[in-house]
Amino acid sequence: MTDRYKKLLGNSVLFAVGNFGSRILLVLLVPFYTHFLSTAEYGTIDLITTSLTLLLPIISVSINEAVFRFVMDKGESAQAVVTNALAINAFGILISLFLYPLAQVYIDTHGLVIILYIILAVDSVQVIMAQYTRAAGKIMTYAVNGVIKTFVLGITNILLLAVLHLGVIGYFYSILISSIFSILLFLVTTDIVSKIRFKMMDSRLMRRMLVYAIPLIPNSLMWWLINASSRFFIVSYHGIEVNGIYAVASRIPAILTLFSSVFIQSWQMSAIEESDSSDRENFYSKVYSYYQLILFATTSALLIIIKPLSAAAFAADYYGSWKYVPFLLLSVVFSSLSGYLGANYLVAKETKGVFQTSIIGGFLSIVLNFLLIPYMGGVGAGLSAFVCFLVMWILRVYDTKKYIKIRNDPRIFLFSILIIFIQMLIVYMDLNLMIEMFLSSVLFIVLLIIHRKNICELLNKFLKKLKVAS
C-alpha cells in the first residue's frame, strides 16, 4: 500500500474514532429519546435542530471552511488565518442579535431562544477550533475531542431527560454543555491560543477568506433545503408527530452518513496534499471507485435488516419509520458522491462551483417537496432528497471534469443502482420477513460479485499492510 493510501486510511481511522463516538452514540441514543420524549417533543427538537443547522453557516459566514483550507496552504500564516477568522465570526454573531425579535415569534419560549442563541455562538467558535486542529494535522486531538464531546452529551442527556425530566429544553442544555466542554478541551490540548494575535488583523486576508467562504453559505442553504426543509413541509401537511417519526427514520441512514463524513474529512486533506502529483487522476479515480463500492454495499446491507432493526431499536410508536428509510439511504449515497466530487472545488479554491451545482438541487428540492410530501408524506421527503442529490451528482460529474477527470465504469454503477432498487421493491412488497431478508441477501451477494475487482484490490492492499506491520 503506497504512502498516500496509507495516509488516507490512517486519517480515516482517526476521523472515525472522533466521529464514531459522536454519530454512533447519537444513533444509540434514539431508543432513549423515543422512550423519554413523545413524538411531538422529538418532532419539535428535530425542527429546531434543523433550523440551527441552517443558521450556523449564515451567522459564522462559513468562515470555518476557510480556516481549514487556508491553514493547509503552506503559503499562509496560521496565526493570521485563525485571528481573522475569529474576528469575522464575532462580527457575524453580533449582527445576528438583530434577529432576536424574529426568533421570539418563531419560538415562544423565552428561555429557549436565549439558549439557542448561546448554542449558535458557542458552536461557531467550536467549529473554527475543530477545523484548525484538523488542518494543522492534529487528527488524534481532533478525534479524541469528538469522542469526549459526545460522551458529555450522552451523560447530560441522561441526567437532564431521564433524571430531571426537563424535556426539550434539557436536550438543548445538553448540546450547549457538550460544546463548551469541547472548546475547553481544544484550549488545553492545542496551541490555538498562541495563534490569536490581534496585530495580525489583515483586511486583505479577510477579503480572500470571505471570497472563499461566502459562496459556501448559499451552498449550505441549498444542502439544508434538500436535507432539512422537508421537515417543515411534513409538519405543515401531516403534523409534528409524523415529523418525529421521520426524524427517527433518518437515524438509520445516519449510519451511512457517519462513514461518509469520516471519509470526506480525510479525503479533503488527501485531495489537497496530492493536488500537484503527476498521477493524481489515477489516485482520485481509484479512491472514488472504492468509496462507491462501500456506499453501495452498506446501503444494500442496511436494506436487509431495516425492519428487524426498526423493531429492535425503536419504541412501538416509531416502528413505521422504516418506510421512510430506503429513499433516505439512496439520498445519502448520492450526497456522499457529490461531496467527494465537491472536494475538487475546494482544492482549486473555486467555491463558486460548489454553489452553482448546489443551487439547482436546492430549488428542485422545494418543488419536489411541495409536489410529493402532501401525498406521500415521509416517503415523498426521502424521494425528493434522492432525486435532488442525484441531479447534483450528475452536474458535478460533468462540471468537475475541468479540474480532473475521474474514471468510473458506468456498467458497474448502473448494475449497483438496479440491485438497490430491486431490494427497495422487495422491502415495500411486505413479504414474509424471512423470505424478504433471504432475497435481499442474495442481491447483496450479487452486488459484491459485481464489485469483486475492487474488493480484491482493497483486500490485497489491506493484507500487504498487515504483512508489513508483522
Please state which of the ranges 48-52, 100-104, 364-368 shows the lowest mean pLDDT.
100-104
User: Quick one: cell of 389?
Assistant: 442529490
pLDDT higher than threshold 60 for residue 109 = no
Please state which of the ranges 226-230, 420-424, 446-450 shows the lowest mean pLDDT.
226-230
The pLDDT value given to residue 73: 73
The pLDDT value given to residue 8: 62
Length reported for the chain = 470
**Taken in order 223, 228, 230, 233, is the CA torsion positive or negative?**
negative
The mean pLDDT value of the chain amounts to 78
**Which pLDDT band, with edges at 50, 70 and 90, does 445 fall under?**
very high
Burial label for 330, CB within 10 Å (0-12, 13-18, 19+), is buried
The pLDDT value given to residue 325: 85
For residues 7-17, average pLDDT:
60
- Are 452 and 315 in contact by the 8 Å Cβ rule? The answer is no
User: Quick one: cell of 328?
Assistant: 433516505
For residues 115-131, average pLDDT:
86
Q: Which of 198, 176, 210, 177 is nearest to 89 (CA)?
A: 210
Contacts of 109 (CB under 8 A, 6+ apart): 169
- Are 427 and 302 in contact by the 8 Å Cβ rule? The answer is no
The pLDDT value given to residue 296: 93
In angstroms, the CA 90 to CA 80 distance is 15
The pLDDT value given to residue 27: 61
**How does pLDDT run across 303-323, given as a tens digit for each residue?**
988 888 777 766 666 666 788
**How does pLDDT run across 78-90, given as a tens digit for each residue?**
788 888 888 888 8
Of 88-92, 114-118, 237-241, which has the strongest mean pLDDT?
88-92
Residue with cell 487522476: 281
Question: Which one is predicted more confidently, 464 or 405?
Answer: 405
Residue with cell 430491486: 422
- Are 147 and 23 in contact by the 8 Å Cβ rule? The answer is no
The pLDDT value given to residue 314: 65
In angstroms, the CA 413 to CA 423 distance is 16
Q: What percent of the chain has pLDDT over 70?
A: 79
User: Quick one: cell of 60?
Assistant: 459564522
Name the amino acid, one letter, at 278.
S
The pLDDT value given to residue 1: 45
pLDDT higher than threshold 90 for residue 421 = yes
pLDDT higher than threshold 90 for residue 446 = yes
DSSP 344-407: HHHHHT-THHHHHHHHHHHHHHHHHHHHHHHHHHHHHHHHHHHHHHHHHHHHHHHHGGGT----
User: What is the SS3 assignment for 1?
Assistant: coil
pTM listed for this prediction: 0.70
In angstroms, the CA 229 to CA 232 distance is 6
The pLDDT value given to residue 106: 57
**Taken in order 129, 131, 135, 140, is the CA torsion positive or negative?**
positive
The pLDDT value given to residue 241: 75
